[in-house]
Amino acid sequence: MEAADKDQIARDILSGATTVAEIARRLDVPIRPVAMVVDKFQSRMYSSVWTDQETEQLLEYTRTHDPPYNWKAFSALLGTKSPRQCKAKCTEIKRKGAIPDKPEN
């Protein structure tokens, strides 16, 4: 694979312009190894520690939006956390009672 192709795939992943399935299809490889690489790549791109400001933005998002939340869109808006990290943080905060449960649509 050319370096330019790898760069384009990285840009697509970061921008949310493609899915793991699309990458696997493009490369003609199984989805699982691609998902593992993407997860590793994304974990290196985002800090695992949440700042007070990031947490407040998450709380504001949950106050102004109804479930199911679009974690991909929120992650892009936040710019410092992956969609998976945002969903996990929301779940953690819900367990602590800071976010009231809203019915899923």
11-16: long-range contacts at Cβ-Cβ below 8 A with a sequence spacing of 24 or more?
13/38, 13/41, 13/42, 14/45, 15/76, 16/72, 16/75, 16/76
Are residues 56 and 92 both part of a single domain? yes
Are residues 25 and 8 both part of a single domain? yes
Angle subtended at Cα 67 by Cα 62 and Cα 72, rounded to the nearest 5 degrees: 75
% of residues, the chain, pLDDT over 70 = 81
Q: Is residue 20 part of a domain?
A: yes
What's the total number of domains in the chain?
Answer: 2
Tell me if the bond preceding 103 is cis, omega within 30° of 0: no
Q: Is residue 28 part of a domain?
A: yes
Are residues 41 and 57 both part of a single domain? no
Task: Answer yes or no: is pLDDT of 33 > 90.
Answer: no
Are residues 34 and 70 both part of a single domain? no
The per-residue pLDDT for 57 is 96
% of residues, the chain, pLDDT over 90 = 34
Tell which of 11, 27, 45 closes a domain: 45
Q: Is residue 40 part of a domain?
A: yes
pLDDT in tens, 65-91: 999 999 999 998 888 888 889 999 999
Predicted confidence band at 46 (pLDDT cuts at 50, 70, 90)?
confident
pTM of the model: 0.58
Q: Residue 8: which domain range?
A: 3-45
Cβ atoms within 10 Å, residue 86: 26
Residue-averaged pLDDT of the chain: 83
